[in-house]
Amino acid sequence: MSDSTAMTRRALLLGVGAAGGAGAMFAAMGALGLAPDAQEKAFVPPQPSDFALRGRGAAKVVVLGAGVAGLTCAYELGKAGYDCTVLEAADRVGGRNLTLRAGDRLTEKDGETQTAEFGEGTYFNAGPGRIAQWMVTMDYCRELGVPIETFVNNNASAYVYTRGMTAPARARTARADLYGYVAELLAKATDAGALNRRLTKDDRERLAEFLRRFGDIGPDLTYRGSTRRGFETYPGVTGGVPVGAPPSLSDVLAAGTGRALTMDFGYEQAMPMFQPVGGMDAIVTALVRAVGRDRIKTGARVTGLKNLPDGVEVAYQGGTIRADYCVATLPPHLLARLPHNLGAPITAALRTPVPVAAGKIGLEYGRRWWEIDDRIYGGITETDLDITHIWYPSHGYHSGSGLVVGYYNTEENAHLYGELSHRDRRSRALTQGKKIHGEKYRTELRSSVSIAWQRQPHIEGGWVYWPSHQGAFTLLQRPAGRVYFAGDWLTHLIAWQAGAMESARKAVTELHRRVLQTSS
Amino acid sequence: MSDSTAMTRRALLLGVGAAGGAGAMFAAMGALGLAPDAQEKAFVPPQPSDFALRGRGAAKVVVLGAGVAGLTCAYELGKAGYDCTVLEAADRVGGRNLTLRAGDRLTEKDGETQTAEFGEGTYFNAGPGRIAQWMVTMDYCRELGVPIETFVNNNASAYVYTRGMTAPARARTARADLYGYVAELLAKATDAGALNRRLTKDDRERLAEFLRRFGDIGPDLTYRGSTRRGFETYPGVTGGVPVGAPPSLSDVLAAGTGRALTMDFGYEQAMPMFQPVGGMDAIVTALVRAVGRDRIKTGARVTGLKNLPDGVEVAYQGGTIRADYCVATLPPHLLARLPHNLGAPITAALRTPVPVAAGKIGLEYGRRWWEIDDRIYGGITETDLDITHIWYPSHGYHSGSGLVVGYYNTEENAHLYGELSHRDRRSRALTQGKKIHGEKYRTELRSSVSIAWQRQPHIEGGWVYWPSHQGAFTLLQRPAGRVYFAGDWLTHLIAWQAGAMESARKAVTELHRRVLQTSS
């Protein structure tokens, strides 16, 4: 269908809708061949208007929560012609997609309020910080015109530090040693005939060739170190000064660097990853612009939710709203506490997923010492200290300042930090990070902000985990009357914005199909 | 020393220099304590003026070649007060640092001329394309204000394709399978006691734990595939559809993907890498601005080089120039052909390094199908086809068009392509790439440009290799009379801009020390 034809048909339908109500509109759509195929299950990669072209709905929808799930619902429903209102308890939009900049205030449930005192241009992605290539988040960035840049999730020059090590090592060094010894062990076992029953002669030769590449082992199959370990002085006019001989095999195994080295092997964390230019909330800003800021009520905490025979009624701080349908995207543990008439099984289901604590601290420095002194440009230092990770920024390279994430931890460690005042979190994070980066890690600090997601009002958790994907998880995939549920918590992409978006797409697809079927 | 003191001293010295010549200036410098420490060997990380503060030289220097080595020489000498002239045979500056944009013409030694017909905003780094974190190139970008961004050198979503495979596989899939089977083989050999003499019980337990992480093998130590292989449909609301079971161990080994999977294990190629925003020639542009365009004569092919008792004389197309010193940065095989009076051993030394052929083709597409269809954002597909690599762009994500490097090959393969017309190179590259990406690789092509560095006038090679770092290599590190040599070819960083820069720093440091010592 050409654009002009589409315009004509849409103009016609809008006219019908305005004159004859939704029923007349949907009848006309069927006549024009625009009603969606009920068998159609999956979204095609989004292009502007893909969703809208499958038919338009005139129903009124109230969306609970202006996080990524809620905003995606309102955006997709809006494209399809729905009249949406989004209710958000906080005085800001975005939910866990939170980017803090100079002057931003962050209040915790017990009342402590921090104010970010960052310099111009510094930002802190307090929530999600990275996107995988295959995630639908990338499509929304493309569709909404949110510029993206590479997020460095793994850096051979970053450090690995475990309590089994006497000093931090570069990731490249730890990797060279582990791979070197693994190659040696397997090459020698193969050479000694230990695998002759499993491997043909061709297999053994090919394996040996791979192991030489993989471990950089010598012709005698022994690992003695390698230029892959890095250099004290890198090659230039001269051949460079390598960092020296590797520790013994026992010491390398005892260091326990395996978790750090394999952290990006999975499908969620593999390199490269991506981030919006200027802060993760660029996605929120673009969604809000597309939805229309006037459709979003902030400071509107929901206090009651009722299914009615012909619609829903939502009470909130400041009023009551009636609509044809509701999509509830609040965290399940908050929905479970909301007075509603959806029935006890729904409440029980909402109580099933377990909130997980998660915390981060943003440490702003007036000098990018990690680039200048350590030659680390982006990436993550992995450690078994309670800070778990140190993230270096993947943007603003070579600029005058920058923000390091001094911890990003979950569960026990997140509770440990979360129970401290910001001052004490900072102090603890600096004490730990100093073990890796030395005194400058403390002395050069300019400002900091920390977040404990389990203590964030209206959110109360980093994410949830499900004891099982049966039962409650399945029940909440279906609407309770006219109330649909959506959020990353209803997917297999928990803690990812892509989960929120995929769940939103599923909910609005089903809602839309129902509207079209009801109306035709 | 405060800035104002420095200003006063410098003003004084400049006055002395103007009135009394270089000798008087250097004598005054010694009196002021500014003469450099002769023991000082290495550069500190560059900061504006670091070099200049060690003393100023008033000598006249002619630099042969306006590639990265030549420009770095002129830049550093200029900061230290030298009067430099750069002679460049081509009608453009930059040497192998060559970025092609719409309208740029590229002529080869046999006379074929291509004109880039790229769209607005498309560029093709025909020469160097990436920078490692530890390289001095990064420091020059910082010092000269050249913005940098991440270059994706390794992408789990890119493909691996060898003639041992029936179809291309994602790098993540090939890696999961090789690592999975390696883990299985070593875990089982360990479990069967084959390593009991080498490993303690603690070692074996730690190794087993690492291998479980490394290979994602089951409790029975068997590799049966893993979500690390990727998905037909990635997880979302549902758990996703994995890509299926792995090939047999024999088939995985026969596929020969080891080279592809280990390509970034070394210190030169490890992730992350970097590139200047907008094209590699941003470095050249910044150097030229700092040197002063008026100091560079293009179209000035050098035709003779003479050491004189008190200076050097350089004949070039268009004139003759006399100077106190010369830094020759042309490729050694071209310097060897230049009439000179430096002696037969110098000619023999210059003939020792062997030029290496290297070629690239830039394929511009009007649709970023690798992002939209393949979900590949940057990175490199590795193959044993004669194209060797396919590079996807690490910038312009989600924009309307983009440029893929359709081959980047060397030696035999580069000769093979280099001997073809551009039309035939393109045809061959498309035929090969089509095996990986299908018909769109050919049908969606918009424009293309190819380069065979061995056929580039005034360059005649991608880079060189040295049969040995003794003899000729060592001889050319020293000046021949008043002629110094510099270039990546005189380093252990051949084919990297950092090599050119390091060599330039060495040459001008030695030249400067000589000037100061001669004059004091």
* Residues B85, B295 contacting (CB under 8 angstroms): yes
Contacts of B261 in chain A (CB under 8 A): 214
Q: Judged by CB atoms within 8 Å, which residues 344-403 of B form the interface with A?
A: 372, 375-379, 394, 397-398
Rounded to 5 degrees, what angle do the CA atoms A316, A319, A325 make?
A: 65
B196 interfacial to chain A (CB closer than 8 Å): no
Residues forming beta bridges with residue B402, ordered by sequence position: B365
What value does the mean pLDDT take over residues A214-218? 98
Bigger pLDDT: B5 vs B208: B208
Q: Tell me if B249 and A203 make a contact (CB, 8 A cut-off).
A: yes
Min CA distance, A104 vs chain B (Å)?
28
B6 interfacial to chain A (CB closer than 8 Å): no
Min CA distance, B274 vs chain A (Å)?
9
Contacts of A213 in chain B (CB under 8 A): 258-259, 262, 265
Closest by Cβ to A134, choosing from B147, B152, B375: B375
Cα A122 to Cα A113, A393, A407, B141, distances in angstroms: 20, 10, 17, 21
Among chain A residues, CA nearest to B214? A262
Closest by CA position to B368, among listed B402, B334, B413:
B402
Q: Tell me if B397 and A503 make a contact (CB, 8 A cut-off).
A: no
B303 interfacial to chain A (CB closer than 8 Å): no
* Residues A486, A73 contacting (CB under 8 angstroms): yes
Q: Enter the tokens of residue A43.
A: 């979204």
Percent of chain B at pLDDT exceeding 90: 87
CB pairs under 8 A between A and B: 250
Residue A363 φ then ψ, to 5°: -115, 115
Each residue's pLDDT tens digit, B98-147: 999 999 999 999 889 999 999 999 999 999 999 999 999 999 999 999 99
Residue A518 φ then ψ, to 5°: -60, -35
Q: Enter the tokens of residue A285.
A: 């800003």
Q: What is the pLDDT of residue B45?
A: 36
Q: Tell me if A398 and B148 make a contact (CB, 8 A cut-off).
A: yes
Q: Enter the tokens of residue A359.
A: 């915390």
Q: Tell me if A228 and B266 make a contact (CB, 8 A cut-off).
A: yes
Closest by Cβ to B372, choosing from A45, A227, A502: A45
A278 interfacial to chain B (CB closer than 8 Å): no
Mutate to test the interface with B, among A237, A283, A370, A473 (most CBs of B within 10 A): A237
Each residue's pLDDT tens digit, A268-296: 999 999 999 999 999 999 999 999 999 99
Which residue is it, tokens 């998880």?
A: A473
Asked if residue B37 has pLDDT above 60, the reply is no
Burial class (CB in 10 A: 0-12, 13-18, 19+), B349: buried
How far separated are the first and last CA of chain B, in Å rounded? Answer: 23
Q: Judged by CB atoms within 8 Å, which residues 489-508 of B form the interface with A?
A: 490-493, 498-499, 502-503, 506
Q: Give the strand order in the sheet containing B273-276.
A: B131-132, B273-276, B148-151
Closest by Cβ to B148, choosing from A199, A216, A397: A397
Q: Tell me if A490 and B249 make a contact (CB, 8 A cut-off).
A: no
Min CA distance, B155 vs chain A (Å)?
6
Q: Chain centroid to CA A475: how far?
A: 25
Q: What is the pLDDT of residue B75?
A: 96
Closest by Cβ to A200, choosing from B175, B236, B250: B250
Q: What's the CA gap between B418 and B391, in Å, rounded?
A: 19
In this predicted structure, which of A42-51, A414-423, B369-378, B450-459 has the lowest mean pLDDT? Answer: A42-51
Q: What is the pLDDT of residue B55?
A: 63
Q: What is the pLDDT of residue A23?
A: 35
Q: What is the pLDDT of residue A41?
A: 34
Q: Tell me if B272 and A498 make a contact (CB, 8 A cut-off).
A: no
Among chain A residues, CA nearest to B235? A492
Each as own residue / partner, the long-range contacts of residues B98-104 (CB below 8 Å, 24 or more positions apart, any chain) are B98/B125, B98/B126, B98/B127, B98/B280, B98/B281, B98/B451, B99/B123, B99/B124, B99/B125, B99/B126, B99/B279, B99/B280, B99/B281, B100/B124, B100/B126, B100/B362, B100/B449, B101/B279, B104/B449
The pLDDT confidence band at residue A249, using thresholds 50, 70 and 90, is very high
B80 interfacial to chain A (CB closer than 8 Å): no
Mutate to test the interface with B, among A185, A197, A368, A394 (most CBs of B within 10 A): A185
Q: What is the pLDDT of residue A58?
A: 79
B142 interfacial to chain A (CB closer than 8 Å): yes
In this predicted structure, which of A39-48, A360-369, A425-434, B243-252 has the lowest mean pLDDT? Answer: A39-48
What value does the mean pLDDT take over residues A450-456? 98
B202 interfacial to chain A (CB closer than 8 Å): yes
Residue B419 φ then ψ, to 5°: -80, -10
What value does the mean pLDDT take over residues B28-38? 36
Q: Tell me if A270 and B238 make a contact (CB, 8 A cut-off).
A: no
Q: Judged by CB atoms within 8 Å, which residues 228-247 of B form the interface with A?
A: 228, 230-231, 233-240
Q: Tell me if A157 and B237 make a contact (CB, 8 A cut-off).
A: no
Cα A157 to Cα A62, A153, A349, A457, B214, distances in angstroms: 49, 12, 46, 38, 20
Closest by Cβ to A227, choosing from B134, B152, B266: B266
Q: Tell me if B492 and A138 make a contact (CB, 8 A cut-off).
A: no
Cis peptide before B272 (omega within 30 of 0): yes
Min CA distance, A423 vs chain B (Å)?
34
Each residue's pLDDT tens digit, B327-349: 999 999 999 999 999 999 999 99
Q: What is the pLDDT of residue B520?
A: 55
* Residues A46, A140 contacting (CB under 8 angstroms): yes
Asked if residue B22 has pLDDT above 90, the reply is no
DSSP E strands: which ranges in B309-395?
311-316, 319-323, 325-328, 354-356, 358-365, 379-383, 389-392
The pLDDT confidence band at residue A495, using thresholds 50, 70 and 90, is very high
Each residue's pLDDT tens digit, B40-70: 333 333 344 344 435 667 799 999 999 999 9
What value does the mean pLDDT take over residues A389-397? 98
Closest by CA position to A267, among listed B242, B326, B494, B209:
B242
Q: What is the pLDDT of residue A150?
A: 98
Q: Tell me if B265 and A228 make a contact (CB, 8 A cut-off).
A: yes
Q: What is the DSSP letter of A94?
A: B
A149 interfacial to chain B (CB closer than 8 Å): yes
* Residues B342, B483 contacting (CB under 8 angstroms): yes
Contacts of A250 in chain B (CB under 8 A): 199-200, 202-203
Asked if residue B11 has pLDDT above 80, the reply is no
Q: Tell me if A236 and B394 make a contact (CB, 8 A cut-off).
A: no
Among chain B residues, CA nearest to A501? B236
Each residue's pLDDT tens digit, B259-317: 999 999 999 999 999 999 999 999 999 999 999 999 999 999 999 999 999 999 999 99
Q: What's the CA gap between B520 and B514, in Å, rounded?
A: 10
Closest by Cβ to A148, choosing from B179, B398, B469: B398
Asked if residue A53 has pLDDT above 80, the reply is no
Q: Tell me if B272 and A152 make a contact (CB, 8 A cut-off).
A: yes
Q: What is the pLDDT of residue B34?
A: 37
Q: Tell me if B272 and A377 make a contact (CB, 8 A cut-off).
A: yes
Each residue's pLDDT tens digit, A161-211: 999 899 999 999 999 999 999 999 999 999 999 999 999 999 999 999 999
Q: What is the pLDDT of residue B54?
A: 57
Burial class (CB in 10 A: 0-12, 13-18, 19+), B319: exposed
Ordered DSSP codes for A215-231? H---TTS-----GGG-E
Compute the Cα dihedral for A28, A31, A32, A36 and give only its sign: positive
Strand, helix or coil at A346? helix
To 10 degrees, what angle do helices A201-215 and B171-191 make? 110
Asked if residue B411 has pLDDT above 50, the reply is yes
Closest by CA position to A423, among listed A403, A441, A450, A444:
A450
Closest by Cβ to B133, choosing from A199, A261, A377: A377
Min CA distance, A395 vs chain B (Å)?
8
A465 interfacial to chain B (CB closer than 8 Å): no
A209 interfacial to chain B (CB closer than 8 Å): yes
Among chain B residues, CA nearest to A256? B206
